[in-house]
Amino acid sequence: MKVRLTIAVIGLFTVFFSGLSGLQAQGLQTERMVPESATQVKLSYAPLVADSAPAVVNIYTRKVVRNRSAMFDDSLFKRFFGDQFSFGMPKERVRGSLGSGVIVRPDGIIVTNNHVIEGADEVTVVLADRREFDAEIILADPRTDLAILQIDSGEEPLPVLRLADSDNVLVGDIVLAIGNPFGIGQTVTGGIVSATARTQQGISDFGFFIQTDAAVNPGNSGGALIGIDGELLGINTAIYSRTGASNGIGFAVPANMVKSVLRAALNEGQLVRPWLGVRGQSVTNDLAAGLGLDRAGGVLVDEVYADGPAAEAGIGTGDVIMAVGGKEIIDEPGLNFRIATMQEGDEIPLAVLSDGFIQERIVALELPPEDPPRNLSKLDGRHPFQGVTVGNMSPRFNEELQINSFLKGVIVLEVERRSPAARYQFLVPGDVVMAINGVRVDQVQELNDVIDENAEQFVYQIRRRGRVQECTIVPNRSFRCSTLR
């Protein structure tokens, strides 16, 4: 266990972080200057745009949608004939969308938003010089709303944008947004960084955004947010708007998150994020008062995974994680972002409030364990659960499913159409099977063992949407459920 204690009482917490912020700002102050003359004010961004814009591409997607005649979808028609009425050939139509992307490697690796290419049957990339290429989706990550594409442009290297260290972005920095708004063609807009570390926007699971007032509109998604040195600060992702047009509030995924997804894409497309092994909650003003803090901030640890990285470093329930790698943690999304941008094996210092003192704990990050193995299985036999696909939950599998990584048991993944479970909703995807006929179920094999095809009735407990239900099935006769808690 690697632990170093810092002699710092809670009252010094404010001084600690204000000093840290002051040093960061002082160190960067000489690189950022206010114009001092009319000549400097008249300087143009044209050379910067000329160097950067060729690395920003337009992306067009096509998806074939099959629709039946509107008559078959009429509610009155369905009432008499049901959903299975299927004569007539379904009609096909093509649904298109557009967005932007950024070339980050000369061999044709492109970063864009996941929502730009999600569900697409065809993806076309158009370069700034009007050349067109079919693109292959290497990795799509809905949790960060990022996707990595590749095109084959031959032996000629493509122009690229270099990824910046987005932790160096400061409020007030001048930025340019380059993209394809409304499909009118490549467009450049300018502004400043309005805020950093925006975490409560609900845009993605790892929300931690650079906010800018540079005009960003539909079609800009996946485009570049660059600094005045021409480096890529982030990928434009979303806007805050009531009309769908720019209101001067745009959000970009920071370059440091782009780096982590890109790294995974180039590593055989396997995206498994490092894991701290804690579950917690953001420290609100009410919690801060109870913890003796003078302001909200940090993450209160509610649960620690046994033998996980945090447990090995001596972090326990009730501790408050205040900083990661010298970066202040404001809330839980901020902690998740910091960990997600790192790699397995990284040893990082955490500032932790424990027993009234700020202590430094060195944590060696690991990948979440898959224990037990997921054992995906389709239940078979003459029983009400026939046609249900289940699997064992584990931290690794739960991360993929985007659910609480600490949950254990057997989760329902899919219910076969026309199966008894589908018709009567005995089980639905997301249910966690806890027990059947009085026997606790922890793994798929135990579930298979406990299902008796000759049973006269099945009494089982499930956790559905956070509530525990007990259900009773009498085959071919009755089905009822009641909520226990």
Q: What is the DSSP string of 242-299?
A: SSSS--S-EEEEEHHHHHHHHHHHHTTT-----B--EEEEE--HHHHHHHT-SS--SE
Catalytic residue, candidates 194, 221, 246, 394: 221
Active site residue 221: yes
Q: What is the DSSP string of 294-305?
A: SS--SEEEEEE-
Residue 59 CA to residue 186 CA, distance in Å, equals 11
* Peptide bond before residue 54 is cis, with ω within 30 degrees of 0: no
DSSP conformation class of 162: P
- Contact between 349 and 362 under an 8 Å Cβ cutoff? The reply is yes
Torsion sign (Cα): 3, 7, 9, 14: negative
Q: What strands, in cross-sheet order, belong to the sheet with 109-112?
A: 132-134, 122-126, 56-67, 91-105, 109-112, 146-150, 136-141
Catalytic residue, candidates 100, 115, 141, 166: 115
What does the buried/exposed string (b/e) look like for 89-126 if buried means 16 or more CB atoms within 10 Å of the residue's CB?
A: eeeeeeeebbbbbbbbeeebbbbbbbbbbeebeebbbb
Residue type, 483: T
CA neighbor of 312 nearest in space, from 352, 360, 338, 276: 276
Residue found under tokens 């096909």:
92
Task: Indicate the Cα dihedral angle 299, 300, 305, 311, nearest 10°.
Answer: 90
Catalytic residue, candidates 52, 97, 141, 145: 145
Copy the structure tokens of residue 22. 């002051």
- Contact between 437 and 450 under an 8 Å Cβ cutoff? The reply is yes
Residue 474 CA to residue 456 CA, distance in Å, equals 6
Catalytic amino acids?
A: 115, 145, 221
